Amino acid sequence: MTFYLTVSLAIAVSSIAVLGTFMLTGMNGLFSLGQAAFMGLGAYVSAICVVNYGLPLPVAILISIGITIVLAAFVGLATLKIRQDFFALVTFGFGQAVIGLLTQMVNVTGGAMGFSNIPEYTTPALAFISLAVAIVFVWGLRKSHFGRDSLAIRSNELAAKVAGINVFKHKMIIFIISAVFAAYAGALMAFHTQYVEPAMYGWITSVTWIIIVFFGGRDSLTGTVIGALVLLAMPEVLRFTAAWSTLIYCVIILLIINLRPRGLFGTWELTLRSLTRLFKPKKAVEEVK
Amino acid sequence: MQSAMIFQQVINGLSLGAVYALIAVGFAMIFNVLKFSNFAHGGVLGISAYAGFIAATTFKLPLVGVILVGILAGAITAVIVEFVAFRWIRLQKGQLIYFFVTSVTMLMLLEQILIISFGASFESFPYTLLKVKAIKLSNLTISVTSLLTLVVTIIAFGILIYVLKKTKVGIAIRAASNDLVATSLMGINVDFVVISAFVISGMLGGLSGVLYGISASLSPQIGEIVVKGFIASVLGGLGSLTGVAIAAVALGLVEVFLISTIGSGLSPVVIFVIMIVFLLVRPQGFAGVSFADKA
């Protein structure tokens, strides 16, 4: 596989996890500092199923998603009814616990040395189709009744509750879906890089995804996808040193949040209508308004 | 012998808890005034720990000088962070989540600055800083760094309590913690209050950075220890500095106890379970100062 294909495949897979964060943080206003841990779960569980137990890839991914759903439901049950700070805190604790377990269970996971010899199953086609399906799914979810309710909860939880929306159920479903996105991305990533280690899935990774969502604009799916592609590609493009590239990355994000708080794209979406509107003569646009 | 071991662990736990308390109170102070989780506090802590390190190695300052340099660096960095990351959003009346996003970005930014200037390796403070390494009392050995941490923390909290209860600035900060808008309506200069809150929180951060650097080791990732402050301030019931400090000390004791009994790998798992149980039993935190999100 050529260098560019390898890099773009990894970016496509990570973007799936970012889409999970988009649903959770962008649409529902919840901050999870343990999203990366779900990615780690997906990666480790599916890799162990394939390497140690010889299961086929789809079954392994299904098992990892099943475990993710159970754990996400557990975390959600404990925290989604109380204040939001607690959700951030407990997802953080959950992430640390997962990393601790992965490091501790040396016999199964290889501990801090990582788990290697994973077969390379993730083809470019699988990765890009998965990303496309994920984008379509999130787009549909946002248009649906359920997605509108989520946005209402984000804007004003109390008002949403009064309007008869089951806030707890909504948050729970979104949290589980976003965790599944992360786990699925983790599984694809494991079968791409062929090596996983616990340190990849710390809270800083979860935070990076939140930053990406805000960079592109949390009201814009287009912005999130483009933001994910740009920001995930940046460390690869700016290759002089990792520290300098992260530094530049941080400065750009500070500028964007300060100067354009709603993100690079605001609420703009890439649709047929917005495109034709963009290229219409000026007078026609004014008439439409 | 067994009881001596336990006593030693308690001292270690208390001193770790004291550092956590310094971090957590600095963290909670900004939360109280501006109502967001200021992860950039970790970056402030890291920068001042390295400032203290330079003071100790390059300029060969004594311990007191090193601590003072750390505190000063913390205050300056915190003010710079406020200007770069938060001021504009605050003046534009941006939503709280933007503060959160920029604060995490600031943490990463300051960490990268440390990596670029000092390299990613571990450093430690020179041994000449402390004349005596340990005190022996019959069969007890107490490390001087633990004692130092405890004593300095107690002094710092004493000064902090005096400033918050007795001085004009402290009273203004406490008023702003209650209600920023009402405070400004009472004719108090909110910008000044916010800056002073950042200065005080930065001083606490600088102190905790130097103390943690002396008792443990120094690496550019030192700032990520701010999460201990985050845990302690949420468990302590955001809003009450006393509750936050108690939660931090408890966290330090529990961590030392867990690491000495079940090892560092499994202790995050137990802490996670404790966290969940605690939140289910007492969602308002240790101190019980709870405030509603809305309405």
Please give the span between the terminal C-alpha atoms of chain B, in angstroms, as a whole number: 57
CATH (domain of B187): 1.10.3470
**Chain A partners within 8 Å of B98 (Cβ):** 214, 257, 261
Question: Would an 8 Å CB–CB cutoff place A173 in contact with chain B?
Answer: no
Question: Would an 8 Å CB–CB cutoff place A107 in contact with chain B?
Answer: no
Token pair in block for residue A279: 């290229």
Neighbours of B144 (CB within 10 A): 15
**Residue B39: inside a domain:** yes
Q: Among partner residues B89, B115, B264, which is closest to A258 by beta-carbon distance?
A: B89
Q: What is the mean pLDDT of residues B130-147?
A: 77
**Residue pLDDT, tens place only, B46-69:** 999 999 999 988 888 888 999 999
- Nearest chain B residue (CA) to A89: B231
In eight-state DSSP terms, residue A110 is -
The whole-angstrom distance between A155's CA and the closest CA on chain B is 11
In eight-state DSSP terms, residue B141 is E
> Does B280 contact A78 at a Cβ distance shorter than 8 Å?
yes
The whole-angstrom distance between B107's CA and the closest CA on chain A is 9
Q: CB-hemisphere CA count at 13 Å for A178?
A: 31
Q: Among partner residues A93, A210, A254, which is closest to B275 by beta-carbon distance?
A: A93
Token pair in block for residue A182: 């992360």
The whole-angstrom distance between B140's CA and the closest CA on chain A is 32
Are A64 and A45 contacting, i.e. CB atoms less than 8 angstroms apart? yes
pLDDT, averaged per 10 consecutive residues of chain A (289 residues), comes to 83 93 88 92 93 90 95 88 80 90 84 83 89 94 90 87 90 94 94 88 88 86 88 76 78 85 77 76 57
**Residue B9: inside a domain:** yes
The answer to ipTM > 0.90 is no
> Residue B128 and residue B148: Cα distance in Å, rounded?
15
Specify the pTM: 0.86
Q: What is the pLDDT of residue A89?
A: 84
- Nearest chain B residue (CA) to A111: B265
Task: Between B140 and B189, name the one with better pLDDT.
Answer: B189
Q: Among partner residues B120, B238, B265, which is closest to A104 by beta-carbon distance?
A: B265
**Residue B291: inside a domain:** no
* Tokens 């910008």 -> residue: B191
In eight-state DSSP terms, residue A156 is -
Question: Would an 8 Å CB–CB cutoff place B68 in contact with chain A?
Answer: no
Q: What is the pLDDT of residue A104?
A: 85
Interface of A with B in 68-87 (CB under 8 A): 78-79, 82-86
**Chain B partners within 8 Å of A94 (Cβ):** 272
Question: Would an 8 Å CB–CB cutoff place B171 in contact with chain A?
Answer: no
Q: How many structural domains is chain B composed of?
A: 1
Q: Sort A55 into a burial class: Cβ within 10 Å, 0-12 / 13-18 / 19+.
A: middle
Q: What is the mean pLDDT of residues B34-45?
A: 91
> Does A101 contact B272 at a Cβ distance shorter than 8 Å?
no
> Does B112 contact A250 at a Cβ distance shorter than 8 Å?
yes
Interface of B with A in 266-285 (CB under 8 A): 266-269, 271-273, 275-276, 279-280, 283
> Residue B21 and residue B250: Cα distance in Å, rounded?
9
Neighbours of B182 (CB within 10 A): 11
Question: Would an 8 Å CB–CB cutoff place B231 in contact with chain A?
Answer: yes
CA distances from B152 to B70, B83, B246 (A): 13, 29, 17
The whole-angstrom distance between A246's CA and the closest CA on chain B is 7
**Residue B293: inside a domain:** no
> Does A254 contact B230 at a Cβ distance shorter than 8 Å?
no
Task: Between B203 and A249, name the one with better pLDDT.
Answer: B203
Structural domains in chain A plus CATH codes: 3-288 (1.10.3470)
Return the H-helix or E-strand segment holding A189.
Answer: helix A167-193
Q: What is the pLDDT of residue B92?
A: 84
**Residue B295: inside a domain:** no
Token pair in block for residue A35: 């999203």
Return the H-helix or E-strand segment holding B140.
Answer: strand B140-143
Q: What is the mean pLDDT of residues B212-219?
A: 88
**Chain B partners within 8 Å of A216 (Cβ):** none
Task: For an interface test with B, give the residue of A80, A105, A210, A254 to mutate (most B CBs within 10 A).
Answer: A254
**Residue B247: inside a domain:** yes
Task: Between A43 and B277, name the one with better pLDDT.
Answer: A43
Question: Would an 8 Å CB–CB cutoff place B100 in contact with chain A?
Answer: yes
Q: What is the pLDDT of residue B293?
A: 44
> Does B105 contact A104 at a Cβ distance shorter than 8 Å?
no
Q: What is the pLDDT of residue B294?
A: 38
Q: Which domain holds residue B212?
A: 2-281
**Chain A partners within 8 Å of B276 (Cβ):** 78-79, 90, 93
Q: What is the pLDDT of residue A282?
A: 64
